[in-house]
Structure 1
Amino acid sequence: MPQEIMEVVEQNQTIDLTADKDGGVLKTIIKQGIDLNKHPRKGDTVFIHYTGTIKSTGKKFDDSRARDQPFCCSLGRGHVN
C-alpha cells in the first residue's frame, strides 16, 4: 500500500472492503454518527466524500472534498455500478 494511504489508515478508523484485503477499496470513518443503530435504507439519498488514488503509485486523481462536492446517489436504485 502506498505511504499516503498507509498514513490515512493509521490516523483513522479505516476498513478494507475488498475480499482479498489488499487495500483496493478502503472506507474511513471521519466522524461517527450519533445514532449507531440508524443506517441509510433503500431509496435514501446519501452524500459521499471520497478520494480516488492509483493503487500502484498512490497518486491522487480525484478528491470530492477538494472540490467541496460530495458524490450523491439513491441507495438500491441501480444508479451506481
Structure 2
Amino acid sequence: MDQLPCRCREVYRLSQQQDLNNKTIASALLISEKTVEYHLYKAISFIRTNLEPFYVQSKNNLSDYKNLAFLPLFF
C-alpha cells in the first residue's frame, strides 16, 4: 500500500477502513465521484497484482479469480 500515490492510498483507506461511500469521500477530499472511483480501481488493481503471486489458483478454474475481489476488504 505504501507504494500507491498518496491520494490513491487515502481514498482507499477512507473507503475500506472507515467504510465511507464514494460521495462522502468526494465531498471530504473536494474531488469528483469519478475520481474517487478511479483511485479505488487503481488501488484494488495494485493490490490484486501484488497478491497474485501468493494466491493459489486451481488449475483451469477461473472462478477462483473472483475471490481476489474480496481480498482488499481485509486490509
TM-score exceeds 0.5 = no
Higher relative contact order (CA 8 A, sep 6+): 2
TM-score range (shorter-chain normalised) is under 0.3
Q: Quick check: which one's helix share is greater?
A: 2
So what's the TM-score if we normalise by structure 1? 0.22
